Structure 1
Amino acid sequence: MHKKQSLFQISKRDTLPLSKALLIRGGILLLALVFCGLITTILTGKNPLSVYATILSGAFGTSRRIGVTFRNVAVLLGISLAVTPAFKMRFWNIGAEGQTMIGCLATTSCMILLGDKVSTPLLIVISLIASLVAGAIWGFLPAFFKAKWNTNETLFTLMMNYIAMQLTSYFIIIWEVPKGAGKIGIINQDTRAGWLPSIGNDFLLPILVVALMTGLMYIYLSYSKHGYEIAVVGESQRTASYAGIKVDRVIIRTMVLSGSLCALMGFLMTSGIDHTLTTTIVDSRGFTAVMVSWMSKFNPFIMIAASLLLVTMDRGASEVSSSLGLNHSFADILTGFILFFIIATEFFITYKVTLRKSSKKEA
């Protein structure tokens, strides 16, 4: 009795040359755009080229739109860079949302409580240190429990998002009513105490900070001793232990770094961009960052393109709904299809699909 074989055979590829890998990625991205164009025509009757043009106009149509788009790219990229060391170590940090928010909360606390007591330069330094420490604590706790008692880091970091959100909600109420009415809104609007210097209408400073962060993260992961230890622990904790690497220490150190960098982005958002605090200030970018990091294979420079794609589609969604009369979610549908094709790209780069040769055995 012969076992029925599949029509296709899947085998692992050798490492592809960069040029061929880029060709595959470019071809599948083009295929994704053609497919989305076909879906657009079928569902809406609209010219897909006009939809794509509207999306680009929503993101890059004016100088202000360009500034906002690249600022949003910087924030998403910064959070994505923050979670990358943990993911490369195979520590599933789903807590970037809370780690960023706790940075926002720590910054807001300093701006409100010390705004009229210390000079602005000193207040900025204090706010930065407070946010980094808060983020480090938010990263340390799940890492410590994972290292000592092997707790589930996915659930632990996810639950800490809700703790950060409820703490934020609590302090917003404390500072807003009744005695602190007016303190939450635009914080220190009259004095601008604790505000970062404005460079390019608040657009340029986060871009510069994240650009520096991207280069440093690439060097850290690729060329430093800590980056090597992260990679080894990610491959196999047992191998890392045999190699003399203190796995518990690496786990805790890496998560402290991730939490601190997420909180740094929270500091930039509150002190340099929004100058306020809400429970939606992070706007789910902590979860989107997970996708950006994974899609980019933990490469900081590829994350730039992934972040730009997601932010462009998000910014273009509003323009599509207002200009073409389409549902706001339509651009999100297109984004989902494009992401599906991009993720599938990695399969075809890693594996080769061929038709299985038929073979007949004589009785």
Structure 2
Amino acid sequence: MSHVKSHSREPLLRIAKREGISRPKAYGVRAAAVLLSLVVSGIFIFTVTKLNPIAVYEGIYDGAFGTPRRFWATIRDTMMLLCIGVGLAPAFKMRFWNIGAEGQILIGGVITAGFMRFYGGTIPTPVLLVLMAAVSLTAGGVWGVIPATFKARWNTNETLFTLMMNYVAIQITSYCVALWEFPVGSNTVGVIHQQTKYGWFPEIFGQEYGLNVILVMTLTVGMYIYLKYSKHGYEITVVGDSENTARYAGISVKKVTVRTMAISGAICGLAGFIAVAGVGHTISTSTAGGRGFTAIIVAWLAQFNTFVMILISLLLVFLQKGAIQIATQFGLNDYASNIITGIILFFILGSEFFINYRVIIRSRKEGAK
């Protein structure tokens, strides 16, 4: 009898899904997680390096915003990451796991580099920029439609499909780089039109990356409106919640899947255009730089709210720049600086658990029964 009673008692801890949490309370949990991560990081810094944690945090800030050049480099990288996150948002909201942003960026970038290399100087730069934007959108969209079509028709696994297409894009990029590496009179593809700057983004208000900001912020606002207020955005939400409900409501799941991935891939392809024409002015297999995977964190943490993505993208780039700075300034190896970044990200990601779930501790009264 006592054996049965012991099994029927409530566990010490139970986890239950929250029915709902107010937005201020959710942001309060995230703010507490950030503060706690700084405390834990400070303990780690002092224990391992004997450095003053405040000085290290000042070094992190200095690495991201210490000079005008660093400030604009941080903004530049934030815009790149944000653009990709915005591209992933509709696919992820539809519960289509697009892990192929890296490939979509490369495809958009390589076709941009081709147009810049072959048509720079023969077409006026403003017209060339419009053409490069159009072809990068098209290329990225096609790269997104391929796995979406297979998913819609034959229910293939989109995670593996989009992931494998990254490697195809890498090989296409490698082939093009090798093809362009030895043009007549040169031995490297290098920076395209470095002297003439054909096909480069123009300076806006005296800032090299001003056009990057305008393009990406326009996309951010546009995607927010598209997902929240348009009919297509409503269909994406319904399909993401339940495909059966969508079919019952007369929504074509196949059509929504293909259309949404075309948009997702196109925006990631446009990120390739920005990376080539607005940032690096060259193409290589490292043009995406892993941002396609980092942007998954951005989209997921923001719960597909593109305005929240601005803050998360800025935070991730801020931590990355800061880690590089403190590694140099304080003579820390990459492992130590990355551990600090990892601790902060761990707490921020962990806060999402407490926003979505609550931990119930067994009361003494329950335990005594």
Q: 1:41 aligns with which of 41, 46, 50?
A: 46
Q: 2:282 matched to 1:276?
A: yes
Q: 2:199 matched to 1:185?
A: no
Contact 1:103 1:135 in 2 (8 A): yes
For structure 1, which segment, 8-17 or 205-214, has the greater mean C-alpha deviation from structure 2 after superposition?
8-17
Q: Measure, in 2, the Cα distance between the counterparts of 1:183 and 1:107.
A: 18
For structure 1, which segment, 131-140 or 186-195, has the greater mean C-alpha deviation from structure 2 after superposition?
186-195
Q: 1:293 aligns with which of 292, 299, 305?
A: 299
Q: Measure, in 1, the Cα distance between the counterparts of 2:272 and 2:170.
A: 13
Q: Which residue of 2 aligns with 1:237?
A: 243
Q: Measure, in 2, the Cα distance between the counterparts of 1:235 and 1:331.
A: 40
Q: How far did 1:104 drift?
A: 0.6
Q: Measure, in 2, the Cα distance between the counterparts of 1:20 and 1:111.
A: 49
Contact 2:144 2:262 in 1 (8 A): yes
Q: Measure, in 1, the Cα distance between the counterparts of 2:154 and 2:337.
A: 44
Q: Which residue of 1 aligns with 2:318?
A: 312
Deviation string, structure 1 residues 168-205 (Cα, Å, up to 9, x no partner): 11111111126473561111223322222122442211
Q: After TM superposition, list the pairs within 5 Å mapping 1:342-357 onto structure 2.
A: 342-357=348-363
Deviation string, structure 1 residues 31-51 (Cα, Å, up to 9, x no partner): 111111111111211111111
Q: 2:74 matched to 1:69?
A: yes
Q: Which residue of 1 aligns with 2:114?
A: 109
Scaled by the length of structure 1, what TM-score is found?
0.95
Q: 2:139 aligns with which of 120, 134, 139?
A: 134
Q: Measure, in 2, the Cα distance between the counterparts of 1:278 and 1:5.
A: 58
Q: Which residue of 1 aligns with 2:56?
A: 51
For structure 1, which segment, 299-308 or 249-258, has the greater mean C-alpha deviation from structure 2 after superposition?
299-308
Aligned length: 361
Q: After TM superposition, list the pairs within 5 Å mapping 1:1-363 onto structure 2.
A: 1=4, 2-3=6-7, 5-177=10-182, 179=184, 181-182=186-187, 184-199=189-204, 200-357=206-363, 358-361=366-369
Q: Measure, in 2, the Cα distance between the counterparts of 1:21 and 1:208.
A: 30
For structure 1, which segment, 274-283 or 189-198, has the greater mean C-alpha deviation from structure 2 after superposition?
189-198
Q: How far did 1:122 drift?
A: 2.3
Q: Measure, in 2, the Cα distance between the counterparts of 1:178 and 1:82.
A: 34
Contact 1:77 1:210 in 2 (8 A): yes
Secondary structure of residue in 2 paired with 1:329? helix
Q: How far did 1:115 drift?
A: 2.1
For structure 1, which segment, 165-174 or 119-128, has the greater mean C-alpha deviation from structure 2 after superposition?
119-128
Q: Measure, in 2, the Cα distance between the counterparts of 1:28 and 1:192.
A: 45
Q: Measure, in 1, the Cα distance between the counterparts of 2:12 and 2:320.
A: 40
Secondary structure of residue in 1 paired with 2:227? helix
Q: Measure, in 2, the Cα distance between the counterparts of 1:252 and 1:347.
A: 32
For structure 1, which segment, 254-263 or 173-182, has the greater mean C-alpha deviation from structure 2 after superposition?
173-182
For structure 1, which segment, 85-94 or 198-207, has the greater mean C-alpha deviation from structure 2 after superposition?
198-207
Q: Measure, in 2, the Cα distance between the counterparts of 1:147 and 1:134.
A: 20
Contact 2:10 2:367 in 1 (8 A): no
Q: How far did 1:68 drift?
A: 0.6
Contact 1:240 1:247 in 2 (8 A): yes
Residue 271 to residue 182, structure 1, CA distance change in 2 (3 Å): farther
For structure 1, which segment, 71-80 or 8-17, has the greater mean C-alpha deviation from structure 2 after superposition?
8-17
Any gaps of 5 or more consecutive residues in structure 2? Answer: none
Any gaps of 5 or more consecutive residues in structure 1? Answer: none
Q: Measure, in 2, the Cα distance between the counterparts of 1:87 and 1:15.
A: 21
Contact 2:209 2:278 in 1 (8 A): no
User: Which amino acid in structure 2 is aligned with residue 257 of structure 1?
Assistant: I
User: Which amino acid in structure 2 is aligned with residue 117 of structure 1?
Assistant: T
Q: Measure, in 2, the Cα distance between the counterparts of 1:321 and 1:12.
A: 41
User: Which amino acid in structure 2 is aligned with residue 354 of structure 1?
Assistant: I
Contact 1:55 1:317 in 2 (8 A): yes
Scaled by the length of structure 2, what TM-score is found?
0.94
Identity %: 49
User: Which amino acid in structure 2 is aligned with residue 355 of structure 1?
Assistant: I
User: Which amino acid in structure 1 is aligned with residue 129 of structure 2?
Assistant: I
